[in-house]
Amino acid sequence: MSAALPALPFARPSLDETTIAGVADVLRSGWITSGPWVRTFEERLSALCGGRPVRAVSSATAAIEIALQLCGIGPGDEVIGSAQSFFAVSNMIEKAGATPVFVDCDLVTRNIDVVGVERAVTARTKAIVPTHWPGSATDMDALLALAARHRLRVIEDAALSFGSRFGGRFGGSFGDVTTFSFHPNKNLTTIEGGAIVVNGEDEAKRVETLRFHGIERLPDGTRDVAFPGGKFNLPDVNARIGAGQLDRLDALLGRRRALAERYFERWRPGTGCLLPPRPSPGDGATWNMFCVLLPLERLTLSRAAFREAMQREGIGTGVSYEALHLTTLGRRHGGREGQFPNAERIARETVTLPLFSDMADGDVERVCETAARILAAHRR
């Protein structure tokens, strides 16, 4: 590691002093669990989503679990999703008692293959869970039309794309059910947290019940439980951070877009790496991460060795994501090598490079130059 340069993580949240002071005010108020700040945060999210009801929860994983419950997914059902996504999607399908059915993705955009979805539909299929990737958009018009033909629910996993606009519309403002993530490495953070966007107040009320033990209040003031809900409510402390992030949302997203564009400008073309799709000027996509595929067949080092070499230079990297059908859970449903070649190649070759709002332009140059030097030194 170069002694003159500070460590550069691949992700870090951006928290301003006003938000930090606001959290202190919440702590002093004595009301730190779900309360007025959660309602404020939900109302502001709803305004972004075209007035659709939004309910905040403790994580995006919780949002997916609740969305599956809201859609009535259970034992005997099948839910179609991409083999290239985070573990939470398939985990929650399994937890609901349903069967995850995987399809491949596009190699460059990484978005779900809509044609593959059509082929995977059976009489047991109840829902589709597409994962939206940074820098591009899933073809939701085609996917929603497919879902309508087969009478399926669509649960949009928008954990990586909060703030994106598709055709001028904010992601989550159209379609069926949408889930967001507010993890510290996302476009907006509440430390931990997530949200679910639904179609009307009846569904919103159902979410409120599902996120808090399944409790329903009876007219006489007592309570009842008809479904074993979890405890997935978001505390006011977290919601206050989210509200502070919304105050700066345009600046945070704009900075991420600028950094992504700088990666496209500065990345050495001779490295042989496959980059994500470069959006056109004015495109509404957001950048939660910047992933490249390494040309491992033309290198004398493995991905792990490349990441170790970057770490020695003080640059952190990640892996996004492993192929879901090749996990132990996925193999129980018939997952095997060669089944989804694009998802598998991404899983083998992908490296997530540093990208967060507080990065400097020079940090991008440092990443690009260091990666190019390592790759050149290990070319076959």
Architecture of the domain whose range is 250-377: Alpha-Beta Complex (3.90)
Decide: 154 and 128 in contact? Cβ < 8 Å.
Answer: yes
How far apart CA 63 and CA 55 sit, in angstroms, is 9
Residue with structure tokens 């573990």? Answer: 87
- pLDDT of residue 101 exceeding 70: yes
Q: Residue 294: is its pLDDT beyond 60?
A: yes
pLDDT of residue 166: 83
Q: Are 365 and 373 in contact (CB under 8 A)?
A: no
pLDDT for residue 48 is more than 50: yes
- Active site residue: 95, 126, 186, 205, which one? 186
Determine the average pLDDT of the residues in 351-378.
Answer: 98
pLDDT per residue as tens digits for the range 58-75:
999 999 999 999 999 999
Worst-scoring range by mean pLDDT, 91-100, 212-221, 275-284?
275-284
Q: What share of the chain is helix, strand, coil (3-state, %, to 5)?
A: 40, 15, 45
How crowded is residue 365: how many other Cβ atoms within 10 Å of its Cβ?
Answer: 14
Fold agreement (17-247, 250-377): no
Residue 1 confidence class, pLDDT cut points 50, 70, 90:
very low
Show me where the domains of the chain are located: 17-247, 250-377
pLDDT band, very low/low/confident/very high, at 5 (cuts 50, 70, 90): confident
Does the active-site annotation cover 186? yes
Q: Is the pTM of this model over 0.85?
A: yes
CATH number for the domain formed by residue range(s) 17-247: 3.40.640.10
DSSP sequence for 121-165: --TTEEEEEPBP-TTS---HHHHHHHHHHHT-EEEEE-TT-TT-E
**Mean pLDDT (whole number) for 292-311:** 98
198-204: average pLDDT: 97
Look at residue 3 in the predicted model and tell me its pLDDT: 53
Mean pLDDT of the chain: 96
Picking from 368, 366, 342, 347, the residue whose alpha carbon sits closest to that of residue 103 is 342
pLDDT of residue 109: 95
Q: Is pLDDT above 80 for 317?
A: yes
In the structure, what pLDDT confidence band is assigned to residue 2 with cuts at 50, 70 and 90?
A: very low
User: CA 10 to CA 317: how far, in whole Å?
Assistant: 5
> Which tokens sit at 372?
């190019």
Task: Express each pLDDT in 247-284 by its tens digit.
Answer: 999 999 999 999 999 999 999 999 999 999 998 877 88
